[in-house]
Amino acid sequence: MNTKFDVKNHVRDIPDFPKEGILFRDITPLLLDPKALACTLDLMESWAAAQHPDLIVGIESRGFIFGVPLAARMGLGFVPVRKPGKLPGSTLSEQYALEYGEDALEIHEDAIDDGQRVLLVDDLLATGGTAAAAGRLVSRAGGRVVGSLFVIELADLGGRRLLEDQEAHALAVY
């Protein structure tokens, strides 16, 4: 693993997206560079291994980009958490607040065995609502969240405060 690797060198700033006044942190350059992507996964795996998870749960949709290869590298299963109506079969649903309204996430109700140690993975920690809702879903499905892992954290938005009951780590903090 390259100890000098900095995720921020592979994130592009896009001003005024998706609306004026927002500075969007774009991971496309990171995904386009196979060495940068491999280094990112190395860093994620290093932190994740210390949490000793039994399972990786990725949050739609960019959590899948990082969660699936991380699970494969670690020899673990992967469970997707998706927007409503995207999973077949019986699901559990969890609503959460957005800045203007509500949204929801779903997980297969039989995806997690009782007591399994779960690591949540997503690309971004912003306000924390999505990650907190995913954590509640994991608990309702019988699992125990042992950590949440993000590529980027937007610290000014305070999302970490919703994850105080667990280990949380981001590779790049803005």
pTM attached to this predicted model: 0.95
DSSP state of 157: G
Q: What is the CATH number of domain 40-173?
A: 3.40.50.2020
The pairs formed by 1-4 with CB atoms below 8 angstroms and a separation of 24 or more are: 1/39, 1/42, 1/43, 1/46, 2/39, 2/42
Q: Are 126 and 154 in contact (CB under 8 A)?
A: yes
Q: Are 154 and 124 in contact (CB under 8 A)?
A: yes
Over its C-alpha atoms, the chain yields an Rg (Å, rounded) of 16
Model pLDDT for residues 11-32, shown as the tens digit of each residue: 999 999 999 999 999 999 999 9
Catalytic site residue from 45, 60, 62, 136: 62
Angle between helices 62-74 and 34-49 (to 10 degrees): 70
Catalytic site residue from 25, 60, 73, 99: 99
Note if 99 is an active site residue. Answer: yes
- pLDDT the model gives residue 170: 98
Instruction: Give the tokens for residue 98.
Output: 């957005």
Going by pLDDT thresholds of 50, 70 and 90, the confidence category of residue 163 is: very high
Note if 62 is an active site residue. Answer: yes
Instruction: Report the share of the chain in percent with pLDDT over 70.
Output: 98
